[in-house]
Amino acid sequence: MASSTAVADVNAGGRVAGTGPLDASNPGIVRMRQLVDGQQYADGWSKCWEQGVTPWDLGEPTPAVVKLAQSGTLPAGTVLVPGCGGGYDAVALSGAGRSVVGLDVCDAAIQRAKQWSSSSPPPDVAFVNADFFTWAPPEPFHLIFDYTFFCALDPSLRPAWAARMHQLLRPDGELITLMYMPQDQDSGPPYNTTVLDYEEVLNPLGFVIGSIQDNDVAVEPRKGLEKIARWKKTANGAGKTTPDLPH
């Protein structure tokens, strides 16, 4: 698999991927915002990938996902990683009875993920180029893992994000959100997010937090800004999903 240095070389602003702050002090973030802002989101993200403007990209799985995968607490079965980017977290979650789909709207991201994983093919991962808001998998998933996807979406898309989480999870499924919660962002992506932002869109659909804790293994620029929440789907939200998906 490619080293994180190789990933760093293609990133804007001369910064090593993922080691800079994800705010306006990082030239890569400024450039990412210019590319994504005001575009159809798929076009904006595609430009980021094609121009190598990926300042969020760690070049390897985030330590929290490695810890989760080794914890023995994850459900077996099918796993979805929406907005998988370079695919590192999807690969880290695979195995031990878990079959993973990494999904990204940008073909360039999917090609990167396939390339990165090709030298050491993971046991059970598929990478799919499709839009999270419209993709129709054959079956709902046992587990969905969201990292730097919610915070990268325009806030107007959050109700649709929650509705899709509800649709894409089995009735007994689990949603894990590794929540990056920057403060005082004047614009995005990444956008300001709080636990309340997640609760506002997930609770009405019957999602409840089973556990929430600080991410004690966050990478340096994100230390103190991340929490891991594990959400259970309850029957309370049955029938309340909205069909308001973006076009």
Determine, following the binding rule CB under 6 A, whether residue 60 of this chain makes contact with ligand SAM: no
Please, which of residues 144-163 interact with ligand SAM by CB under 6 A?
147-149, 152
| Closer CB to ligand SAM, 55 or 237, in the complex | 55
Query: Does residue 228 sit in helix, strand or coil?
Result: strand
Element holding 200 (H helix, E strand): helix 195-202
Please, which of residues 106-145 interact with ligand SAM by CB under 6 A?
106, 109, 131-133
Determine, following the binding rule CB under 6 A, whether residue 59 of this chain makes contact with ligand SAM: no
Cβ atoms < 10 Å from Cβ of 104: 29
Query: From CA 66, how far away is CA 71, in angstroms rounded?
Result: 9
| Closer CB to ligand SAM, 149 or 207, in the complex | 149
Q: What is the DSSP string of 128-173?
A: EE--TTT---SS-EEEEEEESSGGGS-GGGHHHHHHHHHHHEEEEE
Query: From CA 77, how far away is CA 141, in angstroms rounded?
Result: 8
Task: Report in angstroms how near the CB of residue 45 gets to ligand SAM at its nearest.
Answer: 3
- Give, as one character, the DSSP assignment of residue 95: B
**Is residue 61 within 8 Å of residue 88, measured between CB atoms?**
yes
| Closer CB to ligand SAM, 202 or 238, in the complex | 202
| Closer CB to ligand SAM, 45 or 141, in the complex | 45
Determine, following the binding rule CB under 6 A, whether residue 93 of this chain makes contact with ligand SAM: no
Determine, following the binding rule CB under 6 A, whether residue 104 of this chain makes contact with ligand SAM: yes
- Rg, C-alpha atoms of the chain: 17
Task: Report in angstroms how near the CB of residue 235 gets to ligand SAM at its nearest.
Answer: 28
| Closer CB to ligand SAM, 41 or 127, in the complex | 41
Contact partners, residue 33, CB within 8 Å, separation at least 6: 24, 187, 188, 189
Determine, following the binding rule CB under 6 A, whether residue 188 of this chain makes contact with ligand SAM: no
Contact partners, residue 183, CB within 8 Å, separation at least 6: 192, 225
- Give, as one character, the DSSP assignment of residue 221: G
Task: Pick from 20, 28, 61, 86 the residue near ligand SAM by CB under 6 A.
Answer: 86
> Apex CA 76: angle with CA 70 and CA 77, to 5°?
135
| Closer CB to ligand SAM, 93 or 202, in the complex | 93
Determine, following the binding rule CB under 6 A, whether residue 83 of this chain makes contact with ligand SAM: yes
| Closer CB to ligand SAM, 84 or 179, in the complex | 84
Which range touches ligand SAM (CB under 6 A), out of 23-31, 82-90, 112-120, 211-219? Answer: 82-90
Q: How many residues bind ligand SAM (CB under 6 A)?
A: 21
Determine, following the binding rule CB under 6 A, whether residue 57 of this chain makes contact with ligand SAM: yes
Contact residues for ligand SAM, defined by CB under 6 A: 41, 45, 56-57, 82-86, 103-106, 109, 131-133, 147-149, 152
